[in-house]
Structure 1
Amino acid sequence: MSNWYPKKGRVIFHIDMNCFYASVEMAYNPKLKGKPLAIAGNPEERKGIVVTSSYEAREKGVKTTMPVWQARKLCPSLIIMHPNFDRYRTASAEMFKMLTDITPIIQPVSIDEGYIDITECKHLGNPIEIAQNLQNRILKELDLPCSIGIAPNKFLAKMASDMKKPLGMTVLRKRDLPYKLWPLPIEKMYGVGKKTAEKLQAIDITTIGKLAHANVYQLRQILGINGERLKNRANGIDHRIVDPEAVNEFKSIGSSQTLPEDTTNEADIRQLLHLLAENVERRLKRKQAAGRNVQIMIKYYDHKTITRSRKLPYYIDKKADILMIAKELFIQHWNSEPIRLLGITVQEVEEKQYIAQQLDIFTYEKEAEKEKLYNVIDRLSQKYGKNPFKQMHGTNIDDQPHTSFQKDFLNDYKQ
């Protein structure tokens, strides 16, 4: 047993649920098993994209983020379903509760993946036995497949969990790197995106092994401090701990939305900016937080995207303040070409309990009066389900299914 648990190092699992949304739907309706299935944000509209798909669909070329029309073309028998986020959240919470039976040292990363540190779990058996029991339990009780990576640090555990799917289990130790990790293409490395991969390939770093042996000064020149970090990871060096509190950390809160069609209609744009600012205000309020930097994102019809921001000398958390700055930024930077997507993000976010507010008597009175109105609206919203003062035309964009999740659900398993 002692050979499995190093005296100085750690033993870390990365648990990655396989085709999570599709797997949950198959567990809920077994008739879907073995069929090509895709979960899409909005199958009826142009903006609909594939969020995830079953392995049967992937064999036909269906991929995540692929437009629905393209997926249907590749796989005419494809079954497409709307996301059921409540169902996925419930399944996720049940999975993470199972992890708590092993250790309290759990770090959820997203709805379908997380890390656990089992270094002090010798009483439960060796890591392989613990991983097998966990994988079997998730499959038996939830009817959901997962892959587990076992390694001395988070990076290697993450890489290991990707090496065999579905229902995979891979051990990746530092001594395994030359034949398990280093031969992989550089774009397969966690933390290396498309642009970073292109920069590395331009200097003939085409595999993870080449990155591991690259000149650190050259890497710094093209990638900055991230170049050295990636080289360390390629050599199996990662000192990050499994941090149960990491889920509570946030630096920005935002909202973005694709328009049903490319538009230059100022009324539609204005309405969307109002909705986005309202979404951001609500999420800030839920976090009891405020920020002092507002950023807008504009994606044009040709996919060209710009982001512009303004740093403030004070913290804000109200829709009116967020909207005012976002509008100013938009007016200043919009080139009048058709817009495909808009986003508003409040950055440099801090919890209110850590913000020292310096309000003069006039500001205080103004804010106090506003707060009365907000409390009334909140009470009416709770009673009637929606803000009764919100006048909108057409579809409520915030009611449509979204393909991304905020991290505020990741503590569900503790309840």
Structure 2
Amino acid sequence: MKVSRVIFHVDMNSFYASVEQAHHPELKGKPIAIAGNPKERRGIIVTSSYEARAKGIYTTMNVTEALKICPELILLPPDFPKYREASKAMFTILRSYTHLVEPVSIDEGYMDVTEIAKECHPLELAKEIQLRIYNELDLPCSIGIAPNKFLAKTASDMKKPMGITVLRKREVPEKLWPLNVEKMYGVGQSMAKKLKSLNMYTIGDLANADEGLLKEHFGKIGVRLKRRANGIDDREVDPESIYETKSVGNSTTLPVDITEMEDIEKTFRHLSSKVAERLEAKNLCGFTITIQIRDCHWHNHTKSKTLQNPIYLKTDIYQEAMQLFPKAWDGTPIRLLGVTVSNVIDKKRSAEQLSIFNYEQFAKEEPIYEIIHEMEKKFGKGIIQKGIDVKKKSYASKTSFSKDFLEDLKDFIDEY
């Protein structure tokens, strides 16, 4: 009989703002917001305290607009080292209970507490963890308790701040199905729009949709979303996941809105070069390239392409990005551009392409491959690898601050 898992999703509440209030008690109870530099066109709200949210302040709001709505709003620049330290302290507390902790971003992570729950009621355990984080770090968090990761994540969003919510699989039809489909974790605005065009307006509609229809329009993602909408999620809590790089990307907010191709090409060359540098540093290549465009009205447009052969050179990344660009741009002035290479693998794992220039080499090596094939049948896949590098595990690419913090966890994790 399969034992039901007990999964926690720990989500720090208004993390950056809460860290600032913990360091500066005089800010508690006041509307504060962390914001970028307006002079560099990064003048948007990154996060805000719950006092600010109560006055209508929200993430991505323009600073100028925020001050009109809330003149007493206290604006603070981001202090990333401070947030990293708070994140490490939070994960240290979580790891004091179990090694089965999977960081997702700087302010959230999963815990598999199945074994601990045999001796301690999950609700009591969640209360203890929540109070420890609050008492020791002066930081609030919400915790979702469920039999899988998707439901735990969904539960943690149901009650904030300082909430603890239990969500059982049998409660999915009652609690999730009536909600609008865009309320479901994993469904963005673009996906929601497509689902509604197929008459799927609620999570329940998605849960009961024809699987063939979903697969036709969305591929494997559609099938996965249907399973999640039915409360099914078999993913394990994987502490090793922080060692994996799934994508490498770079984006930039432009000093002024641009429409000229010369400026667009220059920006894409710069972004492609940055992405190529990061891929090279990690010895990676990727099969999928995605470009992002944010226009002057804050509308996001993305376009992706999956290639037959992986890429990693800046010239190739630039060329593919520029081919995608006309398909994603409607002519509206551009505020931000981004390039991401995903579906990445180690370069040594990428298949060499048989061509007129190297077929003789492959012909010579064919007897060797036959021997390797026979040995793998006997002893298992991967028993012999060509040109393997002995290195430490690769940590997540520094494509955003929320991913950068994972590098800081290395020393702590390696002790266990």
Query: Shorter-chain-normalised TM-score: which range?
Result: 0.7 to 0.9
Secondary structure of 1:8 counterpart = coil
The equivalent residue for 1:397 is none
Q: Which amino acid aligns with 1:120?
A: E
Q: Which of 294, 313, 316 is the aligned partner of 2:312?
A: 316
CA distance in 2, matches of 1:204, 1:348: 31
Secondary structure of 2:110 counterpart = strand
The equivalent residue for 1:11 is 6
Deviation (angstroms), 1:7: 5.7
TM-score normalised by the chain length of structure 2: 0.76
Say if 1:10 and 1:275 are closer, same or farther in 2 by CA, change over 3 A: same
The equivalent residue for 1:351 is 346
Contact 2:248–2:399 under 8 Å retained in 1: no
Contact 2:106–2:402 under 8 Å retained in 1: no
Contact 2:292–2:300 under 8 Å retained in 1: no
Q: Which amino acid aligns with 2:57?
A: V
How do residues 182-193 of structure 1 correspond to structure 2 at under 5 angstroms?
Answer: 182-193=177-188
Aligned: 1:194 with 2:189: yes
Contact 2:34–2:75 under 8 Å retained in 1: yes
Say if 1:134 and 1:72 are closer, same or farther in 2 by CA, change over 3 A: same
Secondary structure of 1:245 counterpart = helix
Say if 1:332 and 1:36 are closer, same or farther in 2 by CA, change over 3 A: closer
Aligned: 1:61 with 2:61: no
CA distance in 2, matches of 1:153, 1:42: 40
The equivalent residue for 1:26 is 21
The equivalent residue for 1:212 is 207
Gaps of 5+ in 2: 359-397, 412-416
The equivalent residue for 1:176 is 171
Say if 1:233 and 1:320 are closer, same or farther in 2 by CA, change over 3 A: closer
Q: Which of 92, 96, 99 is the aligned partner of 1:104?
A: 99
How do residues 398-409 of structure 1 correspond to structure 2 at under 5 angstroms?
Answer: 404-405=400-401, 407-409=403-405
How do residues 58-137 of structure 1 correspond to structure 2 at under 5 angstroms?
Answer: 58-122=53-117, 125-137=120-132
How do residues 243-282 of structure 1 correspond to structure 2 at under 5 angstroms?
Answer: 243-264=238-259, 269=264, 272-282=267-277
Q: Which amino acid aligns with 2:97?
A: I
Secondary structure of 2:144 counterpart = strand
After superposing the two structures, state which structure 1 stretch, 148-157 or 178-187, moved more.
178-187
CA distance in 2, matches of 1:218, 1:291: 29
Contact 2:249–2:399 under 8 Å retained in 1: no
How do residues 234-383 of structure 1 correspond to structure 2 at under 5 angstroms?
Answer: 234-264=229-259, 269=264, 272-291=267-286, 295-301=290-296, 303=299, 305=301, 307=303, 311=307, 313=309, 315-317=311-313, 319=314, 322=317, 338-355=333-350
Contact 1:97–1:413 under 8 Å retained in 2: no
Say if 1:281 and 1:202 are closer, same or farther in 2 by CA, change over 3 A: closer
Deviation (angstroms), 1:346: 2.9
CA distance in 2, matches of 1:8, 1:308: 40
Say if 1:132 and 1:271 are closer, same or farther in 2 by CA, change over 3 A: same
Instruction: State the identity as a percent.
Output: 54
The equivalent residue for 1:156 is 151
CA distance in 2, matches of 1:287, 1:9: 38
The equivalent residue for 2:140 is 145
Say if 1:169 and 1:225 are closer, same or farther in 2 by CA, change over 3 A: same
Contact 2:303–2:327 under 8 Å retained in 1: no
Deviation (angstroms), 1:342: 2.3
CA distance in 2, matches of 1:414, 1:404: 17
Deviation (angstroms), 1:44: 3.6
Deviation (angstroms), 1:192: 2.0
CA distance in 2, matches of 1:297, 1:266: 16
Q: Which amino acid aligns with 1:412?
A: D
Say if 1:350 and 1:215 are closer, same or farther in 2 by CA, change over 3 A: closer
Deviation (angstroms), 1:407: 2.5
CA distance in 1, matches of 2:19, 2:269: 34
Say if 1:186 and 1:333 are closer, same or farther in 2 by CA, change over 3 A: closer
Deviation per CA, 1:332-367, whole angstroms, max 9, x where unpaired? 998987433222333442224535779x99xxxxxx
Deviation (angstroms), 1:125: 1.6
CA distance in 1, matches of 2:180, 2:290: 35
Say if 1:103 and 1:274 are closer, same or farther in 2 by CA, change over 3 A: same
CA distance in 2, matches of 1:178, 1:167: 25
CA distance in 2, matches of 1:231, 1:314: 30
Say if 1:220 and 1:83 are closer, same or farther in 2 by CA, change over 3 A: same
Aligned: 1:40 with 2:5: no
Say if 1:72 and 1:151 are closer, same or farther in 2 by CA, change over 3 A: same
Deviation (angstroms), 1:311: 4.2
Q: Which amino acid aligns with 2:349?
A: Y
CA distance in 1, matches of 2:17, 2:350: 42
Say if 1:203 and 1:280 are closer, same or farther in 2 by CA, change over 3 A: closer
Deviation per CA, 1:208-247, whole angstroms, max 9, x where unpaired? 3444344444544554443433232222211111112222
CA distance in 1, matches of 2:331, 2:159: 48
Deviation (angstroms), 1:157: 0.5
Deviation per CA, 1:294-314, whole angstroms, max 9, x where unpaired? 554455556574647684756
Deviation (angstroms), 1:261: 0.8
CA distance in 2, matches of 1:218, 1:316: 35
